[in-house]
Homo-oligomer: A and B are copies of this chain.
Amino acid sequence: MKVFVLGGDGFCGWPTALHLSDLGHDVTIVDNLSRRKIDVDLEVESLTPIAPIGERLKVWKELTGNEINFVHLDLAEEYDRLEVLFREQRPDAVVHFGEQRAAPYSMRDSSTKRYTVDNNVRATHNVLVAIATTGLDIAMVHLGTMGVYGYGWSGTAPIPEGYLTVKVPTPDGEIDREILHPANPGSVYHMTKTLDQLLFAFYSSNDQVRITDLHQGIVWGTQTSQTALDERLINRFDYDGDYGTVLNRFLMQAAIGHPLTVHGTGGQTRAFIHIRDTVRCVQIALENPPTRGDKPQVFNQVTEVYRVRELAELISKLTGAEIANLPNPRREAVENELNVSREKFLALGLDPTKLSEGLLEEARDIALRYKDRADTTKIIARSVWRQGMETSPDLMKS
């Protein structure tokens, strides 16, 4: 299969590109390297050392014989080149990771709010327009987020995979209607994924674009079997207050002797998935596209559910790290329950990596190994959801 991986230089995109290439697919990465450039602006780096994209691809070819193409292209700004690329290359599928993906970054200031909306909405819309305009039957797999659903809306019912059937009152009695789960995003970033859902609904209805939307939980872990082949293929590990995800941050904090930064009570319950399962889920989604004319297909890409404080306690027990309860810069429920439907991927053969299996490897091979690269001034989350919200001072001097 000829597959374009949009945003294929990023944290989820890069291991996905290698995984698909390893399976024998003809892979092209389309990326503007924005994730690296945002690091430049934030004056921070991945804990793991990231090779330039050219070197990454050269090493991959040397080690495996598989060639991955790279096109430097801005999806939001260079529509015409994207359309030409589709016409010339005629991919069978695109996997779309080409969006700004950090909630705290999306809430930093007016500029990052605007960038997140402008980039994400335009990138997604441009891809859809290019598919519709060329008339090519390119299946699209998009990385969404569990954050589109919000938390607790459905009472005790599990969060469905995209759609739910509700009863609507009418003068003639109730009728059943299937609706897209109502949107309840907690940040500008999450909001863009709810906008994407409406774009998908329209283009699948008007132009029969075949779309799979993957509502992913919080990713943890760093390596897949492909990225672990050589240090020059290593995946990103973000630990900073904007891009670091909670579990990876805890592991790194434990490694350098920094208290584990729990915001509020840590009663927030969230869904998690290992990066190894992310790449498998994308593969499964590519192998099981919807039929032309179907509505967008939604999978919840989630394997386990934990409270943030449970994770902190687990890692504290493992490593002896202290736990610090810091002010919560987000506007969110202090505590919530979470119950997520995740039957579809299990039915299609996903065999999840459990936290209990991957955690020690992650602590040893990544956090401890690269801890000297950490900049401790970048750990505390400084983005606040509204002006005047409290944040913590640095807890450790570098």
Contact = CB atoms under 8 A, between A and B. Distances in A.
Contacts of A135: 387
Contacts of A151: none
Max chain B Cβ within 10 angstroms of own Cβ: one of A83, A166, A183: A166
Nearest to A194: B198
A206 B191 CA distance: 11
A313 interface: no
Interface size class of A (residues with CB under 8 A): 35 or more
A323 B286 CA distance: 50
A198 B183 contact: yes
Interface stretch (A170-178, A265-273, A363-371): A170-178
Interface stretch (A16-24, A92-100, A154-162, A346-354): A154-162
A125 B117 contact: yes
B185 A182 contact: no
A182 B183 contact: no
A185 B195 CA distance: 13
Given A167-B166, A191-B198, A206-B331, A122 B113 contact: no
A156 B129 contact: no
Interface in A191-216: 191, 194-195, 198-199, 201-202, 205-207
Max chain B Cβ within 10 angstroms of own Cβ: one of A129, A130, A157, A195: A195
Contact of A156 (B155, B170, B201, B387): B170
A164 interface: yes
A40 interface: no
Contacts of A385: 206
Nearest to A180: B182
A65 interface: no
A398 interface: no
B156 A168 contact: no
B170 A167 contact: no
27 contacts: A79-B110, A110-B129, A110-B132, A113-B125, A114-B122, A117-B122, A118-B118, A121-B121, A135-B387, A154-B168, A155-B168, A155-B170, A156-B170, A156-B172, A157-B171, A166-B167, A166-B168, A166-B169, A167-B174, A183-B201, A185-B198, A185-B202, A191-B202, A205-B331, A206-B385, A206-B386, A207-B386
**8 residue pairs, one from A and one from B, having the closest CB atoms:** A166-B166, A157-B170, A167-B167, A155-B170, A110-B133, A155-B175, A191-B202, A179-B182
Interface of A: 79, 83, 109-110, 113-114, 117-118, 121-122, 125-126, 129-130, 132-133, 135, 153-157, 164-172, 174-175, 177, 179-180, 182-183, 185, 188, 191, 194-195, 198-199, 201-202, 205-207, 331, 385-387
